[in-house]
Amino acid sequence: MLFYSLAFLIFFSIVFPLYWISPTQKIRIGILLIASCIFYMWWNPYYILLILFSSVVDFFAGAYIVKLKKKSHRLSLLAVSLCVNLSLLFLFKYSDFFIETINQLAWWTGSQRRWQPPHLLLPVGISFYTFQTMSYTIDVYQKDLKPRWNFLTFALFVSFFPQLVAGPIVRAKTLLPQFDEKKKFDSKRSVGAIWLFILGLTKKVAIGDSLAQLVDPVFTNPGQFNTSTLWLAMFAYGMQIYCDFSGYSDMAIALGRLFGFEFPENFNMPYIARNPQDFWRRWHISLSTWFRDYVYLPMGGNQSHHYFNLLVTMLVAGFWHGANWTFLAWGLYHGILLCGFHFIHLKFPKPLLPKAVSILITYLLVHVGWVFFRAPNMHMAWEFLLGLMHPTGSSSLRYPMAYFWISSVFIGYFFWDKMKGRLLKRNIGAPLQGFIFAGIFLILMGLLNRHHQPFIYFQF
């Protein structure tokens, strides 16, 4: 159920008033839990059992971890919880990749034996809710969080529909306490949230989906297009994935606020980052901090084997995004960028370049990495990168994309995120609201008959 579909509009029109007119917090929790299950089952009713199974395992793991006295027993129970969650993730997301890799290795060694991949349908959002539930049991084990004794509240934490399928990844210690508080309806807060939702929707539909017209044909066959078109497509994809994913995050945060809940910020103008480390402090913040806290720091962080820890963390982060060598290459690429930056920073603590130059270099390096992220396979990725340096094809796209690209640079980087902050602070005047509404109305009316793509991060 997409946020901009008629089905979701009807769904929200029923759930929203029911939630706010309910007299007790227990009833509200029940309404949100039922609504979240319906929301997920709209896509595939059977896969709700996976979320239920993960919820049961982690709920009881958290409950019994605190009761066990021996550390080895607590660690064993944590290991069971992590293995169950990671096994489900591996089965549905990575089994095809590993079996096909084994078949390829067998072919290289001359073996005739082949294994048939299961080709299971990937559950939407499994990467997000799996990491969310794992953070709960890890926090309980580390005594950073007290276990939850109410299963319905815990199940809602796992399945809460605004951020279920594409984040942001909300930690248990952030969201669970909010479920205990009975919210009071705030009309001004709701108006700001509605504006944020509309802006996020416009960012995705008007800019992200428009840029896809340029991006998709070029990445499908990069050898056909000339160098200038490849450069344009590379930068256009950077803006497409930003508008698509940050647009979803804005809508998720807005929906959470409409029900009285606060989600963490997921983007902070990432394309004005001054270096690779700064970029990861601004891009997909909930995921980057998750990997920092649960992968990088437990490995030793910057205390021991610093560069190795960075490379492994980014490789895992790349593989989290998809079962393809391109995502591993993307993760390794960013790991090398981070290692290079830290090495230079240790040698030269003070910035060597002016701020504007650092931003431009980081912007370029990040977008080169997006080639691996977007390309369907490694062959296409190398063909695309070689085409950036050496002319190959001669074709160019004749769509009026310059307008969308230029407008997305200014609107996406500066207007949207600045306006979002003012909306959340409810600091926007009526004349400006009217101007924005008129512009958004005209944009959406012009896009009503177009085919819109699903959110990019739904595939992860």
Of 223, 216, 217, 218, which is closest to residue 390 (Cα–Cα)? 223
- Residue 339 tokens read as 């290692």
Catalytic residue among 284, 306, 321, 334: 321
Q: Are 117 and 102 in contact (CB under 8 A)?
A: no
How far apart are alpha carbons 361 and 354 in whole angstroms? 11
How far apart are alpha carbons 30 and 400 in whole angstroms? 49
Q: Is 321 a catalytic residue?
A: yes
Of 191, 180, 187, which is closest to residue 156 (Cα–Cα)? 180
Of 182, 179, 175, 181, which is closest to residue 145 (Cα–Cα)? 175
DSSP 399: S
How far apart are alpha carbons 292 and 140 in whole angstroms? 18
Q: Cα 266 to chain center, whole Å?
A: 8
Output 382-390 pairs: Cβ under 8 A, ≥24 positions apart: 383/222, 383/223, 384/219, 384/222, 384/230, 384/234, 387/222, 387/223, 387/225, 387/227, 387/230, 388/227, 388/230, 388/231, 388/234, 389/227, 390/227
How far apart are alpha carbons 8 and 133 in whole angstroms? 26
Q: What's the Cα-to-Cα distance from 420 to each of 191, 203, 297, rounded to whole Å? A: 13, 12, 32
Using left for φ > 0, alpha for ψ between -120 and 50, and beta otherwise, residue 265 falls in beta
Neighbours of 122 (CB within 10 A): 16
Beta bridge partners of 395: 225
Neighbours of 434 (CB within 10 A): 10
Overall residue count recorded for the chain in this entry: 460
Sign of CA dihedral 322, 328, 332, 337: negative
34-58: b or e for each residue (b if 16 or more CB lie within 10 Å)? ebbbbbbeebeeebbebbeebbebb
Of 218, 262, 269, 263, which is closest to residue 243 (Cα–Cα)? 269
Catalytic residues: 321
